[in-house]
Structure 1
Amino acid sequence: MSILGKDSKVRVDRVVTHGTFNLDGGSWEVDNNVWVVGNDTECVVIDPAHDGRPIIKAVGKRTVVAILCTHAHDDHISALGEVSDATRGTSWLHPEDRVLWDRVYPVTPDRELADGDTISVAGVTLQVLHTPGHSPGACCFYSPELGVVFTGDTLFQGGPGATGRSFSDFDTIIASISDKLFHLPAGTVVHTGHGDSTSIGVEAPHLPEWVARGH
């Protein structure tokens, strides 16, 4: 699937891959959204999951400016090595998620993400929003020019990401969503790590329900 941004020179491609998520001794089959953002010359890859082959195909001959990790659960980074080797793209991760990264890879990520950082690609900017809760180093990537935010597993259609496993916390994810995401314009499209996209305006009114349900 390819979606043109407000800047029609830039497109957002979604690649869906299938595999397993493994944590705390459990294993679950999941479909993941992998996002490729850019133009015909360069792009970034967000959350290379499970199988590198369709992701590499989506990239094509473009230069990969960065491989961005919303977080380091294994289902979101398991194809990163394959994609990085094929494209020479550098891996970017928030350091607080090294506790999860180190369970998958014996090497250090190439770059560290920090709240407020910006990554430029194809003439647009992705702003890094540190949104802990689903994991300690979870980040979202917001492009004001495109009117989209890539939320990984922090915000989904219908509620926040899961917080019932190790290294997660419900109150923290609610604070991240409230303080960082729900201050974005209501029309901002939310591209998630799993499932369908939504918007800030659709999700924000339901925050009180999520809080009540979570306690």
Structure 2
Amino acid sequence: MAARIDHLVTSGTFALDGGEWDVDNNVWIVGDDTEAVVIDAAHDAAAIRAALGGRALRAVICTHAHNDHVDAAPALADATGAPVLLHPDDLPLWRQTHPDRAPDAELADGQEIEVAGVRLTVLHTPGHAPGAVCLYAPQLNTVFTGDTLFQGGPGATGRSFSHFPTIVGSIREKLLTLPADTVVRTGHGDSTTIGAEAPHLDEWIARGH
């Protein structure tokens, strides 16, 4: 049974540094008809469970710990028994949203997560957040970038725990080295490809944000 990517958009609030913004988040489900993982359990655990449709949830994978990407993670994990996986460098951000509930296991650069016969390789890509990761699935010709790379440039680096030179380095070293036709499935907004974004790296650096 072939693995597939299901896509759900959930809506809620992003809060950091005393500000709040209404946001729509992409939730990605990778699996087949029997098992799956969720990438970024945003806002609505019930809607994500409905999209799973009874499949066994193997993991809730967090690309980073901004509240809009992890606010539904504990509820989804508690309802399904799946572990929450987060890079440890993002624990300070995680604790802002979930001070009384730790993630269940750590993500590490180079780690491989398998589901439905597909391998997801963890790429540590700090910059938008210290523990930000992307997940590369060569068999699906896809990289899930969270808020590290969007259509049109890097994720935001104007708030706490973020750093523009670091995110540019992460994109250059970990993402733009992937095949040009790799589909970039982002944390917000439309998908793109590595080939569409790679030529613009110098423009992003010149803009400095």
- TM-score band (shorter)? over 0.9
User: How many residues in Structure 1 have an aligned counterpart in Structure 2?
Assistant: 208
Amino acid at match of 2:5: V
1:11 and 2:7 equivalent? no
- Cα distance in 2 for partners of 1:50, 1:124 equals 26
Counterpart contact for 2:74–2:101, Cα < 8 Å: no
Find the partner of 1:70 among 63, 67, 75: 63
Cα shift at 1:115: 0.2
Cα shift at 1:18: 0.4
Find the partner of 1:91 among 54, 78, 84: 84
Cα shift at 1:86: 1.6
Cα shift at 1:87: 1.4
Counterpart contact for 2:10–2:44, Cα < 8 Å: yes
Amino acid at match of 1:183: T
Match of 1:4 in 2: none
Question: Taking every aligned residue pair, what percent have the same amino acid on both sides?
Answer: 63
Match of 1:82 in 2: 75
Cα shift at 1:149: 0.3
- Cα distance in 2 for partners of 1:16, 1:194 equals 9
- Cα distance in 1 for partners of 2:118, 2:23 equals 31
1:34 and 2:49 equivalent? no
- Cα distance in 2 for partners of 1:202, 1:160 equals 13
Match of 1:3 in 2: none
Find the partner of 1:115 among 109, 127, 136: 109
- Cα distance in 2 for partners of 1:202, 1:39 equals 29
Q: Which runs of 5+ in 2 are unaligned?
A: none
- Cα distance in 2 for partners of 1:29, 1:171 equals 27
- Cα distance in 2 for partners of 1:115, 1:93 equals 11
CA RMSD of aligned residues (A): 0.9
Cα shift at 1:119: 0.1
1:211 and 2:182 equivalent? no
Find the partner of 2:54 among 48, 61, 72: 61
Find the partner of 1:176 among 170, 174, 193: 170
- Cα distance in 2 for partners of 1:146, 1:64 equals 19
Cα shift at 1:10: 1.1
Counterpart contact for 2:184–2:191, Cα < 8 Å: yes
**Structure 1 segments (4+ residues) deviating >2 Å:** none
Match of 2:127 in 1: 133
- Cα distance in 2 for partners of 1:64, 1:181 equals 27
Find the partner of 1:196 among 182, 187, 190: 190
TM-score (norm 2): 0.98
Cα shift at 1:107: 1.8
Cα shift at 1:42: 0.4
Q: Secondary structure at the match of 1:103?
A: helix
- Cα distance in 2 for partners of 1:15, 1:117 equals 25
- Cα distance in 2 for partners of 1:134, 1:113 equals 17
Cα shift at 1:88: 1.2
Q: Secondary structure at the match of 1:22?
A: strand
Match of 2:139 in 1: 145
Match of 1:5 in 2: none
Q: Which runs of 5+ in 1 are unaligned?
A: 1-7
- Cα distance in 1 for partners of 2:101, 2:189 equals 30
Amino acid at match of 2:105: R
